[in-house]
Chain A
């Protein structure tokens, strides 16, 4: 017992020294997880299934951002106003390509099954197949090595929190994340599209009787979720570079975040993302970095077993 007390005490000392460093990085990751997680949650709402291929939407957004940045920046080092518009262009490019891939995915891998009212197992398998097809295809066409994205800014420490430097990159993620997630929240809460998404999520049959076009709503849901996932892919790629397998782990974490917050619950997905990002980042104080993913999976299994509805509870179809 004394041994454990000592272990804990020594780690808490480390924790105090590094807390804010780790916290800042964790929050930035958390926003990315949140943006991907809403994609899972939205699709889960309307189709009642996990979009296994969401990771590849993320990956394609990353590549779109890479090619656009490469074309626009080349070897120059932009700053000031140019930085702002380059980041916006990158987010739009990632979002548009993400939405296109999501649409194709829905048309090819999901709609034919939906038309036949296929069992759910079939959707899962079809999505896994699409995912493997897409990322290996990206590997074939764009090479199988990691490549860094030309930077639209010179990354530097903007300010410090309790001695922990906060990078410009983190601030970009924070601002973009807040704007997009708040925007989505409003769209789902107030617009006609949002109402039809919620209606389909609540009861697809009744919604269609009430004149909601289900096909169209599902397609639009994929577009919205895909756009956010693609934009997140661009932001992620900006920090760590792009490669064909880049979607796998972040998407798995994002799924964990969605479950943590309560699947189907938009705000839950965002909060789940932040919590997971921070928890995972702080866990390195206690375990080796090699086991970070084990911590994340541990959280997933614990939530599924002990509180399967997540922190905020499943909210399929209720006001977001």
Chain B
């Protein structure tokens, strides 16, 4: 409810923000030390289309980090933000990447937000030695593709899936699990990692692919399939269900599961971690009790929440990946602080050596760009609200 209302505001606010941010920074630097050089930090992610909210969550956090850095006045440079909208689409992201690479003042990038878009764009960033710090791209193979400029501040799907399985089987004590994936790269990746670990934990596992629907982003199947899929889940006799995929389709599936009389525990991944899940579930009560896990933390930092709300005009509490985007931007800024001469290559090298305490976790990267440590948080829907239960 709240989020949707905010979305309109956010859309208006963001266009205002994107228009005004640059001149505002320009004026500030003119009144301050005129000799300070200005560098640009980029953000690439979905700023229009069906995943717009996710992009907005992040872009405001990046803007906040930049505003705070500029405000201290201690930095030997000024920062500004430039956004690149890829709609989360891997066919658009290479074009945006090339455009970003060409921007001489751009020294590093927060993003790309989505894994597919990252995979498609990264060769261009690598060729330009431009560091990219993604707040949310979790596909395992991104870290193993030999891109030394690739970093991410969240644990990958290879960590999340098994952690979820352990939670489901060991903590919740479910010995038979029906594992469903939505046929997307992301959903099937998490689901298969989950299934492997659950099997290793001696649970009975059966799997099914139920593709995304035209009711949702880029789906091809019909929403009417869920009643049949739910019937099969019930017929399997499993005590629990894991769904690898996104909130929109899960919402449809939850309604059908309730209709079919499924009574076991239901768990899903961070693709489903959105208040829109509850909004899109018919009836909304069918979402109650669902576990949602994420390598991302919801922000409990009061000062961040206040400042974020002031900038974005919506609450940071529901802004998935905003804390990670904030950390990603600050990782870049901290890397820049440590440098005498700021170049793209120098930032990549500095990020490899970086270690500082961010808002969500200690930001220290492994050699392949993955974050050291692997925190997975578990949330649950209670009375129509998503509540963070803690670490898995």
Chain A residues with a Cβ under 8 A of chain B: 14, 17-18, 21-22, 25-26, 28-29, 32, 143-149, 151, 154-155, 157, 165, 167, 169, 238-241, 243, 245-246, 248-250, 253, 277, 280-281, 284, 288-290, 292-293
Contacts and interface: CB of A to CB of B under 8 A. Distances in A.
Contacts of B24: none
Contacts of A167: 259
Given A25-B224, A25-B231, A243-B248, 4 more contacts: A148-B281, A151-B282, A240-B282, A249-B221
Contacts of B226: 240
Contact of A169 (B49, B52, B217, B259): B259
B4 interface: yes
B222 A239 contact: no
B49 A29 contact: no
B260 A21 contact: yes
Question: What band does the interface of chain B fall in when counting residues whose beta carbon is under 8 Å from A?
Answer: 35 or more
A151 B285 CA distance: 11
Nearest to B217: A144
Contacts of A288: 208-209
Contact of B231 (A22, A151, A248, A249): A22
Nearest to A20: B231
Contacts of B216: 146, 243
B255 interface: yes
Contacts of B281: 148
A149 B284 CA distance: 10
Given A289-B209, A292-B225, A239 B282 contact: yes
Of A14, A241, A245, chain B has the most CB atoms within 10 Å of the CB of A241
Nearest to A77: B283
B282 A148 contact: yes
Contacts of A28: 227
A143 B214 contact: no
Nearest to B8: A143
B280 interface: yes
B265 interface: no
B20 interface: no
A253 B222 CA distance: 9
Of B214, B229, B283, chain A has the most CB atoms within 10 Å of the CB of B214
A284 B279 contact: no
A80 B279 CA distance: 25
19 contacts: A21-B231, A21-B260, A22-B228, A22-B231, A25-B231, A146-B215, A147-B279, A239-B255, A239-B282, A240-B223, A241-B252, A243-B216, A245-B215, A246-B214, A249-B220, A249-B223, A289-B232, A292-B228, A293-B222
B231 to A, nearest CB: 4
A246 to B, nearest CB: 6
Given A146-B216, A148-B281, A246-B223, A240 B255 contact: yes
Given A243-B215, A249-B221, A249-B222, A155 B208 contact: no
A169 to B, nearest CB: 7
Contacts of B213: 249
Contacts of B282: 148-149, 151, 238-241
Interface string B203-245: 0000011110111110011111111110110110000000000
B255 A290 contact: no
Contacts of B255: 148, 239-240
Contact of A148 (B49, B53, B284): B284
A281 B276 CA distance: 28
Contacts of B260: 21, 165
A249 B222 CA distance: 6
Contacts of A239: 255, 282
A55 to B, nearest CB: 10
A143 B209 contact: no
B231 A290 contact: no
B76 interface: no
Contacts of B215: 146, 240-241, 243, 245-246
Given A241-B251, A290-B183, A148 B225 contact: no
B146 interface: no
A240 B252 contact: yes
Nearest to A250: B222
Contact of B232 (A18, A32, A277): A18
Nearest to B249: A146
B73 interface: no
A232 to B, nearest CB: 12
A169 B215 CA distance: 19
A289 B68 CA distance: 50
Contacts of A14: 235
B384 to A, nearest CB: 10
Given A169-B259, A249-B213, A293-B220, A284 B251 contact: no
A29 B228 CA distance: 11
B361 interface: no
B224 A143 contact: no
